[in-house]
C-alpha cells in the first residue's frame, strides 16, 4: 500500500506530525509513506524513521495551473491508496479529489472538506500532536498518540560528540540556549524573541552559581544578530551552529537543560527527552507542549514574551 501525507507548515509542524506517521507505519508496516511538504521543512525528515520519500511543493507560493498540474501528475503516477492532509484549503481538497486516491482523509469543516472521502473533527484546543493524530480516525485507527520521537543518524551523534570536544565541554555537560525566531514568525509580527538583556541576567546568574557549567548558544541560519548581541554582553558563552536538523537534535540530546522560546528546537528537545524550559508569548503553550515532568512552559500573562521576568525563569531552573 502507498500512502500520501500532505503536511504544510514549517519544521515544527513536521516534528509534531511524526507520531501520526509512526503510528500509521505501525498499523501498516509494509506501507510506503510519502509526504508533501514545503521546501523550508524538508530537512525535518532527516530524523524521521517512517517516511519513504519527501516531495516538495510550496503551498504559500503563487502557484499557477501548471504548478498544480505537475503536482497532480506526480501524485497520479504513484497510485496512492490513501491520502491524509493537514491542509484545509479548497485547492488542496480539489487536488486530492482529482488524483483519484480512493481514501482521502482530512478535517471536516474546512472549505476543502467536500472533496474528502473521510473526515474527522478538528479539535484545536489540545496538544497539536494529538490533534494531528486524530486524522488516523479517518482510517479506523483508534489508538493513543505515541510520544514524539526521532531517529538521529549515528554520524550526527558523532558530529555532536566532536563538537563538544571543540567547545571544550567536559563530563559536567552544558546548558543550551536557543533564543532566536524564524524570519517567517517575525514577518507575521509574532513575538517569539526573548530580549538579550534578559537572557544576560539569566546567564550571569547561572555563571555565578555554577561557574564550571558551560552555557552554549544555539545559532541557526537566521540568528546572526541575536547571537552577536548576546556574545557582546556575555563573552563567556560558547556558540554552536549545527548544519542540519540531525546534528541539531544530537546537540540538544546531549544537553543537561535547554532554555528556549517557541521554536522547532523546542520540539526536538521534547522528542529527545532533554529537560526543557520554554518561554511563550502569543502562542499557546498547552497546544505546543505535552504534559510532562521534563517540559516546563512559561506563558507570558501579557502575550509578550519579553514580559516574563528573568527571576521567574531562574526560579524554574534552580527548583528543577
Residue 83 forms beta bridges with which residues?
A: 4, 104
Each domain of the chain, given as residue ranges in start order, spans 2-139, 154-319
- Give the residue among 30, 24, 145 at the shortest CA–CA distance from 84: 24
What CATH class is the domain 154-319? Answer: alpha beta
What integer pLDDT is reported at residue 163 of this predicted model? Answer: 98
CA dihedral 106, 107, 112, 117 (to 10 degrees): 50
Q: Output the tens digit of pLDDT for each of the chain's 320 residues.
A: 999 999 999 999 999 999 999 999 999 999 999 999 999 999 999 999 999 999 999 988 888 889 999 999 999 999 999 999 998 888 889 999 999 999 999 999 888 899 999 999 999 999 999 999 999 999 999 999 999 999 999 999 999 999 999 999 998 899 999 987 655 555 565 678 899 999 999 999 999 999 999 999 999 988 999 999 999 999 999 999 999 999 999 999 999 999 999 999 999 999 999 999 999 999 999 999 999 999 999 999 999 999 999 999 999 999 86
User: pLDDT per residue over 187-200, tens digit each?
Assistant: 565 678 899 999 99
Q: Which three cell numbers stand for residue 165?
A: 570536544
Q: What percent of the chain has pLDDT over 70?
A: 96
Give the per-residue pLDDT at 26: 97
Identical fold between 2-139 and 154-319 = yes
Provide CB contacts within 8 A for 302, sequence distance 6+: none
**pLDDT at residue 62, rounded to an integer:** 84
- Name the CATH code of domain 2-139 (choices 3.40.50.300, 3.40.50.2000, 3.40.1370.10, 3.55.40.10): 3.40.50.2000
Residue 271 Cα distances to 67, 144, 223, 253, angstroms: 35, 17, 23, 9
Cβ(18)–Cβ(148) under 8 Å?
yes
pLDDT in tens, 306-316: 999 999 999 99
| 148 secondary structure, DSSP code | P
d(CA 163, CA 48): 23
Q: What is the Cα–Cα distance from 249 to 151, expressed in whole angstroms?
A: 9
Amino acid at each position: 500500500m502507498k500512502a500520501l501525507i500532505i503536511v504544510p507548515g514549517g519544521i515544527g509542524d513536521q516534528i509534531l506530525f511524526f507520531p501520526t506517521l509512526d503510528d500509521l507505519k505501525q498499523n501498516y508496516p509494509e506501507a510506503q509513506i510519502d509526504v508533501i511538504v514545503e521546501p523550508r521543512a524538508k530537512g525535518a525528515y532527516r530524523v524521521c524513521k517512517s517516511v519513504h520519500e519527501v516531495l516538495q511543493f510550496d503551498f504559500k507560493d503563487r502557484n499557477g495551473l501548471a504548478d498544480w498540474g505537475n503536482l497532480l501528475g506526480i501524485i497520479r503516477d504513484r497510485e496512492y491508496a490513501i491520502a491524509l492532509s493537514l491542509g484545509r484549503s479548497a485547492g488542496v481538497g480539489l487536488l486530492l479529489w482529482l488524483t483519484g486516491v480512493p481514501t482521502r482523509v482530512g478535517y471536516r469543516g474546512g472549505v476543502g472538506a467536500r472533496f474528502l472521502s473521510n473526515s474527522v473533527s478538528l479539535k484545536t484546543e489540545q496538544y497539536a500532536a494529538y490533534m494531528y493524530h486524530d486524522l488516523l480516525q479517518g482510517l479506523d485507527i483508534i489508538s493513543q498518540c505515541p510520544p514524539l520521537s526521532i531517529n538521529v543518524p549515528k554520524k550526527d551523534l558523532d558530529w555532536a560528540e566532536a563538537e563538544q570536544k571543540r567547545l571544550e565541554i567536559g563530563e559536567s555537560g552544558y546548558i543550551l540556549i536557543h533564543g532566536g525566531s524564524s524570519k517567517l514568525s517575525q514577518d507575521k509580527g509574532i513575538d517569539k524573541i526573548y530580549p538579550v538583556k534578559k537572557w544576560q541576567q539569566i546567564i550571569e546568574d547561572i555563571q555565578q552559581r555554577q561557574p564550571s557549567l558551560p552555557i552554549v548558544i544555539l545559532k541557526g541560519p537566521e540568528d546572526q544578530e541575536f547571537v552577536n548581541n548576546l556574545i557582546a554582553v556575555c563573552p563567556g558563552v560558547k556558540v554552536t551552529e549545527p548544519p542540519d536538523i540531525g546534528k541539531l537534535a544530537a546537540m540538544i540530546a546531549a544537553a543537561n537543560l535547554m532554555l528556549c522560546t517557541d521554536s522547532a528546537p523546542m520540539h526536538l528537545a521534547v522528542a529527545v527527552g532533554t529537560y526543557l524550559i520554554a518561554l511563550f508569548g502569543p502562542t499557546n503553550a498547552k497546544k505546543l507542549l505535552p504534559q510532562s515532568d521534563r517540559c516546563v512552559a512559561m506563558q507570558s500573562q501579557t502575550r509578550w514574551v519579553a514580559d516574563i521576568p528573568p527571576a521567574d525563569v531562574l526560579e524554574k531552573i534552580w527548583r528543577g
